[in-house]
Amino acid sequence: MTNEGVHADEHPVPGTRRPGGRTARTRAAVRDAVLSGLSDHGYPGLTIEYVAEHSGVHKTTLYRRWGGLEGLVADALDLAGEDTWTPPDTGSLEGDLRALAHEVVDAFADESKAAAPTAFIAASFQSQRAADALRAFYSERFSRCEAVIARAVERGEADRDTDAAALVRAVSAPLMLRLFVTREPIDAALADQSAAVVLAATRAGAFSSR
Q: Point out which residues bind a second copy (CB under 8 A).
A: 42, 44, 118, 121-122, 124-126, 131-132, 134-135, 138-139, 142, 163, 166, 169-170, 172-174, 176-178, 180-184, 190, 193-194, 196-201, 203-207
Pick the closer one to a second copy by CB: 26 or 120.
120
Instruction: List strand residue ranges (DSSP E) for 56-182, in order.
Output: none
Q: Least separation, in Å, of the C-beta of 125 and a second copy?
A: 4
Burial 87-105 (b: 16+ CB within 10 A, else e): bbeeeebbebbbbbbbbbb
| Distance of alpha carbon 190 from alpha carbon 87, whole angstroms | 19
Q: Least separation, in Å, of the C-beta of 100 and a second copy?
A: 14
Pick the closer one to a second copy by CB: 13 or 181.
181
What dihedral angle (degrees, nearest 10) is formed by the CA atoms of 86, 189, 7, 10? -50
